[in-house]
């Protein structure tokens, strides 16, 4: 993940940044999608800013100070409030192109938020909108218009680069799919999506199994994400660090690093079921087989755990999630 805030660019190591950021209450988890050329070639200069000197937390030991002193010292230290842009802000026109809904009403709302003391707006930047029709055909016009509208209202931006679809979570109303050319590939090869053990696929996000497989018009999934991010930075470089204060990168379904293990709308899962592993596309199974051979246990690569319950199981009574010889703490469980 890379951001430029307060005049400094910085880059984050994938695993280290994930561990650090998981402790923070952020809406979107972050993902470093391979070594990005621009981030390592000197375009971004790595520089960490120490926040300790500027953001101090009063300990319980400070209670002996007078209330007036505390109030005086914290008077100007306000928490910046960001409001999330509604998920249905975009709609499709007659030609199938996305556009902003109710532009005048949105303009009035943004000005009202500014007057109310809101610091900025959180906006999801959808892969399925920008690179919608064909590979490398990036159309940023919608976001240029939206970002200018937000900036002209005196508001800042938190941007989330979203590589997932929200069609299912919005029940098809105002939702954004993956790029149409990706869906065309998926119509022929459903293994580019996560699959459950019964073979059902989910087109909310590309499986991690194709991260390094060039199935997407000659590119791997990571290359698609990388090219998208490079295009974003090239287009909005002047906004980064001034209007755009934070950039987050989506990890998977709903922007989170997880399986789409709880599908709703098709009757497979109901709350509070534990869901199912979604690692049965052929590319992830090939990875499993290779890992099992390296481990000297080729039999472990034939299938996933058979004692992990089903979509609507509860954790209690499911051997794989309990203590025992066949649990996730076993040699096989740890390997899987």
In tens, the pLDDT along 118-160 reads: 999 999 999 999 999 999 999 999 999 999 999 999 999 999 9
User: Smallest Cα–Cα separation from 18: which of 251, 281, 242, 298?
Assistant: 251
Strand (E) positions, 118-164? 120-126, 156-162
Q: Which residues on adjacent β-strands are paired with residue 5?
A: 8
Report whether pLDDT(307) > 80.
yes
Higher pLDDT, 307 or 29: 307
245 neighbors 5 (Cβ within 8 angstroms): yes
Residues of the chain with CATH 3.20.20.80: 2-50+75-260
Report, as an integer, the average pLDDT of 211-238. 97
Report whether pLDDT(73) > 90.
no
What is the model's pLDDT at position 280? 96
Report how far Cα 175 is from the mean position of its chain's Cα atoms: 16
Backbone CA torsion sign across 286, 291, 293, 299 = negative
Predicted confidence band of residue 49 (pLDDT cuts 50, 70, 90): very low
What is the model's pLDDT at position 98? 84
pLDDT above 70 covers a percentage of the chain that reads: 76
Mean pLDDT, all residues of the chain: 81
Distance CA(176)–CA(166), nearest Å, equals 6
Predicted confidence band of residue 74 (pLDDT cuts 50, 70, 90): low
Higher pLDDT, 29 or 199: 199
Report whether pLDDT(267) > 80.
yes
Report whether pLDDT(21) > 80.
no
Which of 74-83, 161-170, 262-271 comes out lowest in average pLDDT? 74-83
CB atoms within 10 A of CB 197: 16
Report whether pLDDT(188) > 70.
yes
Report, as an integer, the average pLDDT of 300-314. 94
Distance CA(227)–CA(220), nearest Å, equals 11
Distance CA(107)–CA(226), nearest Å, equals 32
Higher pLDDT, 45 or 197: 197
Q: 76-85 burial by CB neighbour count: b if 16+ within 10 A, else e?
A: eeeeeebbeb
- Residue in the block written with tokens 């375009």: 43
Report whether pLDDT(329) > 70.
yes
The whole-model pTM stands at: 0.75
What is the model's pLDDT at position 257? 93
Which of 93-97, 102-106, 113-117, 136-140 comes out lowest in average pLDDT? 93-97
**CATH class of this structure's domain 2-50+75-260:** alpha beta
Report whether pLDDT(199) > 70.
yes
């Amino acid at each position: 993940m890379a951001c430029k805030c307060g005049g400094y660019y910085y880059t984050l190591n994938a695993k280290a940044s994930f561990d650090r950021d998981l402790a923070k209450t952020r809406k979107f988890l972050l993902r470093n999608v391979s070594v990005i050329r621009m981030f390592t070639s000197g375009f971004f200069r790595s520089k960490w800013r120490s926040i300790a000197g500027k953001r101090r937390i009063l300990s319980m030991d400070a209670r002996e100070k007078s209330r007036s002193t505390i109030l005086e010292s914290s008077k100007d230290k306000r928490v910046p409030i960001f409001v999330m842009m509604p998920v249905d802000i975009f709609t499709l026109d007659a030609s199938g192109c996305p556009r902003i809904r109710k532009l005048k009403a949105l303009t009035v709302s943004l000005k009202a938020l500014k007057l109310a003391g809101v610091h900025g707006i959180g906006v999801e930047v959808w892969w399925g909108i920008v690179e919608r029709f064909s590979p490398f055909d990036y159309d940023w016009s919608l976001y240029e218009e939206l970002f200018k509208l937000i900036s002209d209202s005196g508001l800042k931006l938190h941007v989330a680069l979203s590589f997932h679809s929200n069609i299912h979570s919005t029940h098809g109303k105002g939702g954004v799919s993956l790029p149409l050319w990706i869906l065309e590939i998926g119509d022929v090869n459903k293994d580019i999506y996560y699959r459950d053990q019964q073979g059902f696929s989910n087109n909310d996000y590309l499986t991690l199994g194709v991260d390094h497989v060039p199935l997407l018009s000659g590119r791997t999934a990571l290359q698609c994400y990388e090219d998208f991010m490079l295009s974003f930075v090239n287009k909005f470089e002047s906004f980064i660090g001034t209007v755009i204060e934070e950039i987050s990168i989506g990890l998977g379904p709903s922007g989170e690093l997880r399986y789409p293990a709880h599908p709703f709308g098709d009757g497979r899962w109901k709350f509070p079921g534990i869901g199912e592993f979604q690692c049965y596309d052929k590319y992830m199974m090939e990875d499993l087989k290779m890992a099992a051979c390296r481990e000297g246990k080729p039999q472990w690569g034939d299938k996933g755990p058979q004692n992990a319950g089903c979509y609507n199981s509860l954790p209690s009574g499911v051997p794989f999630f309990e203590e025992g010889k066949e649990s996730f703490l076993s040699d096989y469980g740890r390997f899987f």
